[in-house]
Structure 1
């Protein structure tokens, strides 16, 4: 069972209990939930079977525009089925206006677009790959201290043109500031030179959870490395499409972008 919840920020996570099923998390768009049932055999959410630890832990998350209501289904070893419904709170997102970006970073030419397509394929492959980590990720730390310079989910207008919503959390810090792994895991990608994202590290934490570190300067790890929470994986830079030095931090559950600030709000202790 989940025994203790540590509150890291002001917004309190919600706790739901039903027949030994425990769910802890932020039931907001962009939020994430950690669940447990000691006798779980199979868990499904939105018709997706979730990866389940030996102790009965699982996790799932909500996209930026997730619908209002959903449920999780738990099949027990006894054959009993538990279904718990819940409401997902709708969010209002800010509008972020950025000016002064080089035109090639907003309206790339044909050659640059080909590079962007190749980059996206490489990143997508890493995000969808299996990290084969057996230890369930029960707690998370902030990769670095710094000023928030960009919020998850915000509508973005770049040089006057509307672009895709912001998918992560931007933390401004000087070039060379160490970046720590939010949790232990396996390095799925450590590569320089992406067109928009610059130098990138992706960590697989197991159970379909990944964290992605963008616009880095130095990279201290390589693909396949097994790292611990708090290990320095590289340093802050301003590579790719950026107006200044910062870390752009993405968190994915499966291929869904989760709000990293909400990930930080709920941690589980044994």
Structure 2
């Protein structure tokens, strides 16, 4: 595995906004997430697409791995004129990761498996689109497990010598059965024990389109519809699905944008980079 992808220094937008406007904090960078706090009744859009806003006026804006360099955020608070904010999204450089030894059917699935894969992908999309409005994310996030970081966000993956999609999460190697905890408060919107690529798959919705995902689990101890709190046990590390050994693949999505967990929660002393 190559080293971590380069991340620009933290860019705060506070200085870019007038004093009376909504408060915006975060990183306008590929894989980053903005946290916005407006007044109750605020409406917002990104490049003309409406953004869900909580009753208290809070909302999120996320940026995909290959985000456009410039996007337009519009915010309208009650009894004020609309603010138009052009965000310059910092671009990143990504490394490459080679993984060998995978069963050939997990790299290039047989044709009789393709419909199953399509059906599972649709169920994942539906789960991530669940209309969870409560801003559970306001309570913050923490790492869901302790272990060794063996894969980072954005890397181009070469599987058994064949180029495949970039990696959109953090791989955390740990012994099989290691406890996995909810990264933040939310509602379980998917708890599947045997998806073709991701094996044991858990998705938690944190509000306004933000979800966290936990892949390759050997055990899932919560069910769809359960409310969870940050730090609650939700499963254990495994090697199910397309996997070469026990690890947790941890991801965040905001709507259709794939986010970098390390930009939301920097690694601590119990999560070390491995060679």
Q: Could you state the TM-score of these two structures normalised by the residue count of structure 2?
A: 0.88
**How far has the Cα of 1:169 moved from its partner?**
1.1
Query: Per the alignment, do residues 237 and 166 of structure 1 end up closer, same or farther by CA in structure 2, a change over 3 Å counting?
Result: same
Tell me, in whole angstroms, the C-alpha distance in 2 between the residues paired with 1:122 and 1:106: 21
* CA RMSD, Structure 1 to Structure 2 (Å): 1.8
In structure 2, the residue matched to 1:95 is: 96
Q: Aligned residue for 1:83?
A: 84
Alignment partners' CA distance in 1, 2:133 and 2:87: 30
How many pairs align? Answer: 257
CA distance in 1, matches of 2:233, 2:40: 37
Deviations 1:183-239 (A, max 9, x none): 111110111111110001110111110111100011100011111111110000000
How far apart, in 2, do the equivalents of 1:247 and 1:239 lie?
10
Conserved? CA contact 2:8–2:92, under 8 Å? no
Q: CA deviation at 1:132?
A: 4.3
In structure 2, stretches of 5+ residues that fail to align are 1-6, 267-275
Q: Is 1:215 aligned with 2:216?
A: yes
> Retained in 1: the 8 A contact 2:184–2:230?
yes
- What residue in structure 2 maps to residue 248 of structure 1? 249
Q: Give the Cα separation in 2 of the matches to 1:70 and 1:221.
A: 38
Matches within 5 A, 1:37-52: 37-38=38-39, 41-52=42-53
Q: Is it true that 1:12 corresponds to 2:13 in the alignment?
A: no
In the TM superposition, residue 53 of structure 1 has moved relative to its aligned partner by 2.4
- TM-superposed CA distance for 1:10, in Å, is 10
- Once the two structures are TM-superposed, the CA of residue 13 in structure 1 deviates from its matched residue by 4.8
Aligned residue for 1:181? Answer: 182
Mapped contact 1:183–1:230 kept (Cα < 8 A): yes
List structure 1 segments (4+ residues) > 4 angstroms apart after TM superposition: none
Check 1:70–1:138 CA distance in 2 against 1; reply closer, same or farther (3 A cut): farther
Is the Cα contact below 8 Å between 2:188 and 2:203 reproduced in 1?
A: yes
After TM superposition, give the deviation of residue 48 of structure 1 in Å. Answer: 2.0
Unaligned stretches of 5+ in structure 1?
1-8, 266-270
Q: Following superposition of structure 1 onto structure 2, how do residues 91-170 of structure 1 map, counting pairs within 5 Å?
A: 91-170=92-171
Contact 2:193/2:219 (8 A) holds in 1? no
Higher RCO, 1 vs 2 (CA within 8 Å, ≥6 residues apart): 1
Moved more, 34-43 or 171-180: 34-43
- The structural deviation recorded for 1:133 is 3.1
For residue 40 of structure 1, report the CA deviation from its aligned partner: 5.2
Cα offsets for 1:112-166 (capped at 9, x unmatched) = 2222122212212111222343545341111112111111111111011111111
- SS where residue 97 of structure 1 aligns? strand
> Residue 5 of structure 1 corresponds to which residue in structure 2?
none
Shift of 1:85: 2.0
Cα distance between partner residues in 2 of 1:125 and 1:181: 20
Change (3 A) 1:162 1:136: closer
User: In the superposition, relative to structure 1, how do residues 39 and 81 fare at CA in structure 2: closer, same or farther (>3 Å)?
Assistant: farther
